A and B are shown apart, each in its own frame.
Chain A
């Protein structure tokens, strides 16, 4: 399909436009010229520069990097678990992170500690799943998936308990965290570094991913050392999800919908699918977050609700288009 070759260049063009629009939009509206001047003037160039450099830029960059991380984790887990419905949180990474972050919040911790709690919770959940889901036996995607789903249910119960026991004034912050909240995003540099590292590591395996996507036996017969590859992919995907969830809370749908969207456009080759997913995930989350900030301004909406509201109709439309094309 020749049209699939156009997808990546188009994404590459759309991404900066989207970032600029995200910086410009908000309760203090800035024109494209204002944004350009503020960016050129540097961090200490008046009120507009303050808004751009202190508030909008970190948030938009964080949104982009988190969207990229979630989409990347989605691609990797869909190959790893041989399940098109796999998403970054399916193995309980977000559940562990939620328990960590909400515990920290319940104890009255600030933003930085809560984010740290989320990251620690995510990593603890990865370690727990590896210990329980693999045990001593060989890699088994099915058992790993089931164990992850069961653990997620357990985390869900803990989250409910934490919410029930939380003091009233902290509840709103907790609920927003659970639905994804980029207003707390403060480390765009850190998430970008994670994203770049993870994308490079995943792209290095792109050919092996192409083969593994056809099944373990097929990959083995073509010369892939399947089990070590699966372990690497699992750790990589978990790291992506953990970094995203620590920065922005649990944002659903990006990791599920973006890889599907691109595959439905005919992108199968992982050398192109991986970077395209990162770009598309970033664009998608910047758009969703911009809408979350502006739709009911000055009120902010939970970005997780908007990713689902944007994502559901898009994917349904693509599925029906594809069915029509196949007929």
Chain B
């Protein structure tokens, strides 16, 4: 699905990661872990075609990202950005319908299909009752769920999410992770940048650890462990195993 080949990422004055190669397949659910400033967001933007890598290439279905017309790319790849740059003045429904932009043409009226996609996305994020509320009156966590709903309404093949769990309470974190897991089970491809390390072993089947001058990518069973996370975060970690899965928590 998505293949990154010997990617080198840089921000002014700093090289973030060197020669990173990665292949995401349909049905996989990836988490990206790393310390602040490790380059997680820069990597996500490069994988989404929002910025160009300093070196290397990213291909979607064996075609370089910059060979795609923007709209075609947006039909296949959906991105949850960390923040909106600007306030939004309309309703929750209007916000979620923005996610349908790549599927709509010119000034054509709203299709029943667009409205249905937006409504079911809001219902999936537990915001079905809020469709006519003003977006600006929502709390931080409610906004995050509406932003997630807009991404679901976009219904791409590949989901790239930058900190999808930010501002969410525990119950909504679990709900959101279940939604992501469900997308992967349906054959979509999911990659999420996370700080909630505890969930990494429980909900994700693949992991990418972005260290300062190293990285490691592969199946979660091989990559994730108390030792590798300790090396990544430079913080003592321990693993708690239950019948439902593995959880990583700091040993403090």
Q: Chain B residues near A220 (CB, 8 Å)? A: 50, 70
| B132 at interface by CB-CB < 8 Å | yes
Indicate the member of A208, A220, A223 with the most B CB atoms within 10 Å: A223
Q: Which of chain B's residues has its CB closest to A79's CB?
A: B86
Which of B84, B90, B94 has the most A CB atoms < 10 Å from its CB? B90
Knowing A266-B134, A268-B90, A268-B94, the reply to whether A224 touches B85 (Cβ < 8 A) is: no
Asked if B26 is at the interface of the complex by the 8 Å CB criterion, the answer is no
Task: Tell me which residues across on chain B come within 8 A of A213, comparing CB atoms.
Answer: 86, 88
Distance in angstroms from A318 CB to nearest chain B CB is 13
Residue in A203, A204, A222, A271 whose CB lies within 8 Å of B101 = A222
A207 and B101 contact, CB distance less than 8 A? yes
Taking a contact as CB atoms under 8 Å apart, the answer to whether B85 and A216 are in contact is yes
Residues of A in contact, count (CB < 8 Å): 29
Residues on the A chain within 8 Å of B88, using CB: 213-214, 268
Once the chains bind, are B134 and A1 in contact (CB under 8 Å)?
yes
Which residue on A lies nearest to B106, using beta carbons? A204
- Chain B nearest Cβ from A74, distance in angstroms: 15
A215 at the interface (CB under 8 A from B): yes
Interface positions, chain B 80-107, Cβ under 8 Å from A, are: 81, 84-86, 88-91, 94, 98-99, 101-102, 104, 106-107
Which residues of A sit under 8 angstroms from B132, Cβ to Cβ? 1-2
Contact in complex: A210, B85 (CB < 8 Å):
no
Q: Tell me, yes or no, whether A218 is within 8 Å of chain B by CB.
A: yes
Q: What is the bound-complex CA distance between A204 and B108, given in angstroms?
A: 10
Bound complex: CA A211 to CA B79 (Å)? 14
**Per-residue interface assignment for chain B, residues 55 to 87, with 1 indicating a CB less than 8 Å from any chain A CB and 0 otherwise:** 000000000000001111111011101001110
- A217 & B85 in contact (Cβ 8 Å cutoff): yes
**Can you list 26 A-B pairs, Cβ within 8 angstroms, ordered by A?**
A82-B85, A82-B86, A204-B106, A204-B107, A207-B107, A208-B101, A210-B101, A211-B98, A214-B98, A215-B84, A216-B85, A217-B45, A221-B50, A221-B77, A221-B78, A221-B79, A222-B98, A223-B71, A223-B74, A223-B75, A224-B70, A266-B90, A268-B88, A268-B90, A268-B91, A269-B94
Which residues of B line the A interface, CB within 8 A?
A: 45, 48, 50, 69-75, 77-79, 81, 84-86, 88-91, 94, 98-99, 101-102, 104, 106-107, 132, 134, 137, 154
Q: Please name the 3 residue pairs, one residue from A and one from B, whose CB atoms are nearest each other, closest first.
A: A215-B85, A268-B90, A223-B74
- Interface residues, chain A, CB within 8 Å of chain B? 1-2, 82, 203-204, 206-208, 210-211, 213-218, 220-225, 263, 266-269, 271, 326
